A and B are shown apart, each in its own frame.
Chain A
């Protein structure tokens, strides 16, 4: 188990790698990749059971990135873990790349499911958790990371209802609640509150956590897994664009690539060094 300091360092690397590949591609979604860096670091370097080089290992934990547009942070985690080469990160969004603009399960089996048509990922994760229950040979958990904007989709609540009904104790979902979506603040577009009450009433064990506090995230993941009778929902309060002052808390950086100069300033901020 890595230390909190190590996980914090990994989170910084995930941010930097995400921004570098988005800048190189000259397109992509930095805001939500930055807001979920600690969540992805906690999963891929804290709790997930997987084997580098063997993405179809039957007993691996499953991770469905429902907010598929933030896949740069997932590619970054796989590179950090040694499952992807650094050079391949530079092919993001390029023709014939395995690193499609949104996760592609067929091209890159490390992606558990294709996502990006928002609202479907939790349903897929519910299906995987149901499969685990029927699988007599393998024992694993299924994790799903959702965006906040996609919670406006009715299918998420169909999935939430079914997760509660089936008491999927081996399913953990996390909402990257960064409060900003493409067109502006979530609360102005279609408010989600009272969000914890909604999931609790759908039969989920629900926790709220600071989504940039790795210690708190790991504790919440452990608490959720301890409840075997119901699925776990972790509402992670985060900041869109976290770690880069000019990208924070704004819809402007939801889906825009940084210029070379902006990238340099961003990396300097993340590493805590002075921009040249």
Chain B
């Protein structure tokens, strides 16, 4: 239980820092006053209207990506996959941008997340088909499939955006590098719902996922309904990744780094790995967002730059270890 307390404390500390620091630093007392509706109006606007939703969205998106990455890693039996490397996030962004460009999002707020989910699901299924074409999943084929799917999706996003004038709403940079700048109460709420539902499904699949890391035959011999477990996990991982993309665009490597860090320290039992990866992902995302805001304040770095700088070395290290094995 100590590990849960430790990560919860880290996450809480990161979130407090996330609310306090920024273009304008705020003392803790001012933040507390603003939270209970006191203090001057500017501080209240900054804390309640801007930073709190932003930090909450970052935490939820990080948790969603951590859960999604860990789930996909069990499905593909590979520590190198996450929604970003498999092209799942890019698939979600194509879905979202398509809905935007066709003007479907005007009718209902659920259209964009649904379209993102459809895009993510399609991308997972395509990569799964490509990756298992020769029997077991081959790391090289999987990664190539992910790169190709992501490249194709990015091209589609650019194409759609250049035809339609929706750039004023959300830029191509947003869909390819991500940002938490647009966070609002509504975006936090819908992301939160997705994390609770899909995260719960993933957690219910913890034992089947453990068994699946040993291969489908072994999982079946342990009484796991492989087909059902695989589909539930695919849908949950897609929902988590797409909810994150719909709220904050494509942000890479969080889904790869968070489960990896947890595995290093606390092993790979999915019953503990999933909640820990969610907390690690949330912490990582809140800190990355904070860095993106303060490094060259008042200008913001794209958060994808920060997560890539953290994520790429981890990815390369995993790749080299995998190659040596």
**A associates with B:** no
